[in-house]
């Protein structure tokens, strides 16, 4: 968690659509329709399904809309890793997005690209301890790439810590990973198919994830925590 906090400190300090070269040169003059934050969030989650270049213009719309100024800190934290995911997935698309932003008067967005360019984001992630916040980062990377290695990270955390009895933070990392996978299984068939094929989890644990909804997993988690507290362990 320490290194992620450092990235967020950097953020605080730094604080149809044309896809041709002609479009890039004139991008500062493009009139971009407004999009709601809810719709934008939905599009981020589904980006990996079609990898539509319109996402960068929707991003500009959110950052140019003064109504969302108070929520941009949260958007920054998500978008930083979303853009990093795009860089690892398709450097050409990432560079085009960066060029489009250069033609807009949006220093806040420019700073996100600057953080990615000037820091080893992959190294940051490998130095983290398991946590619920880190789970969210890996989901963000999955949504921006469709790369199942990020789901495998979550499965590995589940395998290692789903029955953890000593470290409450590691236990919660595993259980929130279980909850989020269960939730996304209901939304994305790709996630379910990968879980079914993966050999990271035992058969018993895989079946538990596939057959129980998020509410059941949350209930079982709270029961375990209550018992741990009753026993004076946590």
Q: Tell me which DSSP letter residue 129 carries.
A: P
Range of the domain at 190: 148-230
pLDDT tens-digit readout, 98-119: 999 998 889 999 999 999 999 9
Report how many domains make up the chain: 2
Question: Could you read off the pLDDT of 126-161 as tens digits, one per residue?
Answer: 999 999 999 999 999 999 999 999 999 999 999 999
- Among 90, 124, 158, the domain-final residue is 124
- Residues comprising the chain, all counted: 234
Q: Are residues 166 and 118 in the same domain?
A: no
Statement to judge: residues 102 and 169 lie in one domain: no
DSSP letter assigned to residue 27 = G
Show the tokens assigned to 12: 């605080």
- 33 lies in some domain: yes
For residues 19 and 114, membership in a common domain is answered with yes
Q: How do the pLDDT tens digits run along the chain, 234 residues long?
A: 434 444 444 444 344 333 434 444 445 557 788 999 999 999 999 999 999 999 999 999 999 999 999 999 999 999 999 999 999 999 999 999 999 999 888 999 999 999 999 999 999 999 999 999 999 999 999 999 999 999 999 999 999 999 999 999 999 999 999 999 999 999 999 999 999 999 999 999 999 999 999 999 999 999 999 999 999 999
- What value does the mean pLDDT of the chain take? 89
Q: Is residue 137 part of a domain?
A: no
Q: Give the span between the Cα atoms of 145 and 91, in whole angstroms.
A: 12
Does residue 218 share a domain with residue 165?
yes
Query: Helix, strand or coil for residue 53?
Result: coil
Among 58, 89, 124, the domain boundary falls at 124
Residue 120 and residue 162 share a domain = no
> What ranges in the chain are assigned the alpha helix state H?
2-14, 21-25, 37-50, 54-64, 72-89, 91-102, 107-118, 121-126, 132-145, 149-161, 168-187, 189-197, 203-211, 214-230
d(CA 176, CA 154): 9
The owner of tokens 């994830």 is 209
The reported pTM is: 0.86
The answer to the question of residue 130 being in a domain is: no
Q: Are residues 117 and 14 in the same domain?
A: yes
Percent of the chain predicted with pLDDT > 90 = 84
Same domain, 38 and 87: yes
135 in a domain, yes or no?
Answer: no
The first and second tokens of residue 123, run together, are 């190294």
């Amino acid at each position: 968690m320490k290194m992620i906090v450092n990235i967020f400190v950097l953020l605080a300090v730094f604080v149809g659509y044309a896809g041709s070269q002609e479009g890039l040169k004139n991008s500062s003059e493009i009139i971009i329709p407004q999009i709601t934050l809810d719709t934008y969030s939905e599009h981020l989650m589904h980006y990996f399904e079609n990898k539509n270049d319109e996402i960068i213009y929707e991003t500009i719309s959110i950052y140019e809309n003064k109504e969302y100024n108070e929520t941009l800190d949260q958007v920054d934290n998500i978008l930083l890793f979303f853009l990093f995911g795009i860089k690892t997935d398709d450097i050409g698309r990432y560079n085009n997005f960066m060029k489009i932003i250069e033609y807009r008067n949006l220093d806040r967005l420019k700073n996100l690209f600057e953080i990615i360019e000037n820091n080893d984001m992959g190294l940051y992630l490998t130095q983290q301890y398991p946590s619920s916040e880190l789970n969210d980062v890996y989901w963000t990377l999955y949504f921006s790439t469709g790369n199942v290695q990020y789901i495998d990270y979550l499965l590995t955390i589940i395998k290692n810590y789903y029955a953890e009895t000593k470290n409450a933070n590691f236990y919660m990392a595993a259980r929130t990973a279980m909850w989020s996978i269960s939730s996304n299984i209901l939304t994305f068939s790709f996630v379910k198919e990968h879980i079914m094929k993966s050999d990271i989890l035992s058969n018993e644990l895989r079946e538990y994830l596939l057959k129980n909804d998020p509410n059941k997993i949350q209930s079982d988690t709270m029961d375990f925590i209550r018992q741990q507290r009753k026993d004076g362990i946590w």
